[in-house]
Amino acid sequence: MKQIYSLRLLLLAGVLCLFSHQTMSQTYAAEGMVVTSNRQGAEVGLAVLKKGGNAIDAAVATSFAMAVTYPVAGNIGGGGFIVYMQANGETTTIDFREKAPLAATADMYLDEHGDLIINENHLSPKAIGVPGTVAGLYLAHSKYGSLSWADVIQPAIDLAEQGTEMLYSNYFTARFIEGRHEQNPEEMKYMNEFFRDDAGKIVEPGELWKQPDLAKTLRAIRDQGADGFYKGEVAARLAGFMKEIGGLITEEDLAAYEAVERPPVHGTFGEYDIYSMPPPSSGGVTLIEMLNMAESVSDDSLAFNSAEYYHYLAEFMRRAYTDRARYLGDPDFNPDIPLNEILNKERAARLAAGIDPEKASVSDSTQVQLPEGTNTTHMSFMDKDGNAVSLTYTLEYSYGSRIVAGGLGFVLNNEMGDFNPVPGVTTSTGLIGSAPNQIAPGKRMLSSMTPTIVAKDGKPYLVIGSPGGRTIINTVFQTVYNVLAFDMALDAAIEAPKIHHQWLPDQILFERDKVSPDTQALLRAMGHKLIPVNGLGDLNGILVEPRQNLIIGVSDSASPEGAALGY
């Protein structure tokens, strides 16, 4: 069974929304802040903060609510990461990345000739990894939440039962799916029904969209905790559905899933401390490695928005992404990841010193023996006591696998596509085959998600993250660098021009309306290949101004339904 969606067309909803609303949301507050890509979810988080909940309570409540209001990326059928810093500077992370089913094999997406079957690892039932979100949110709340579990789940149940306003993004997706259903009737059945009312009609924009199947699933999670998802009726129905459509996930896979608390990766930049997600996320390691390189280069070479600036950034990215491909993967399967070496400032300085200031390097695919989607979403939170949460979670593609779990009401991920699908094969087009991220049963796939908290004087200062697949790390890097190195206001840092280089393919993506033609010409003269794109990233961040007792929340203008809400 093959799905034949066009991702470009599926994203039409977001493009159309931009015509009606493209303004940055910036908010000032003294007590608490929630910043997300979906206002309906942010309103739930703000209400939890006002009720006396802490940042973890708000993050958990918002995450469940966005499974109802923002199914393009909000999820209980996917996974992600939390970085949590308490007001006293103590920091931890929660890893709830999806896992490969126990039946997965390293060559599961190859044909009899050893070639990759097109889209089998992205758009098929076998692309679905074991979801981690419910376990991760439950672990975070059980260790660090203050309100009851029922208190933080109930708002999502209410939204699903009573209905939430149908947004244009979801409406246009529904209309698109309606036109594709006849070509894919088996797998598309539940997705085609997903946006419809009891009479079978697609819910119109502005009307209430009710999701009774999802409400029932959420009630089981409310009443039984994580076991309400990973065991019992929900698990049995999900495993049965997987068997029906040819997926791999079983009740055994679900019962065996566990979220993991891990220490953060830590770096410094001047007077600031950087805390981010460790493997199986590649985000934190790669972010800190690039900041270390930037710190070692003179300010004269990094004048903001100059051709030299973009040249050096691209070369930092090239070197860090080479290390990403060579070394990083699930630490439970790769116990010898040389983190201390990768994060070493002296090594970073040596890498930076090897950059020719006038000529681009060449990416060599033989150096290392990384696919990732864009529909992730990031949220930032701060409570009245100064505790901060940076949370990124994902389904991978827009609406993940584009498969809705029959009778359960949630969209399933397609995260298996983040593994290296062809063992041992690395190409100049960007296919990576290195061993650390090859498929294995129970293994977590490498991620680019980069939820990050920067501390100043031992307290949360900047909370930041973004969606964007492999562009995430570079988008977060440039935003953090803008704030710390150039003393930019957060809104300016988020809206500033961004580029992306990921080692392979050997090219720079740049925002077409933000880099001048003269700068482009200078970069091409240095030997860089330039590819224009409409935008990079969708950042949601918080900056703390302690002298003014002020919390500043900013939602990227790239997020037409985003909001920064505080009180």
HSE, CB side, 13 Å, CA atoms: give it for residue 299.
4
Instruction: Say how many C-beta atoms besides its own lie within 10 A of residue 428's C-beta.
Output: 12
Two tokens at 488?
A: 């930019």
The residues with which 53 forms a beta bridge, in sequence order, are: none
CB 67 within 8 A of CB 74: yes
The 3-class secondary structure across 51-93, one letter per residue, is CCCCHHHHHHHHHHHHHHHCCCCCCCCCEEEEEEECCCCCEEE
Nearest to 54 by CA among 542, 381, 276: 381
CB 355 within 8 A of CB 304: no
Q: What is the rounded distance in angstroms from the CA atom of residue 235 to the CA atom of residue 252?
A: 9
Nearest to 137 by CA among 190, 192, 210, 82: 82
Q: From the candidates 376, 394, 426, 519, which is the catalytic residue?
A: 376
CB 42 within 8 A of CB 61: no
Eight-class DSSP state of 559: -
Eight-class DSSP state of 436: G
Cis before 101? omega within 30: no
CB 551 within 8 A of CB 391: no
HSE, CB side, 13 Å, CA atoms: give it for residue 397.
26
Is residue 376 part of the annotated active site? The answer reads yes
- R_g (Cα) of the chain, nearest Å: 22
Nearest to 452 by CA among 516, 537, 334: 537
Instruction: Say how many C-beta atoms besides its own lie within 10 A of residue 334's C-beta.
Output: 17
Please list the active-site residues: 376
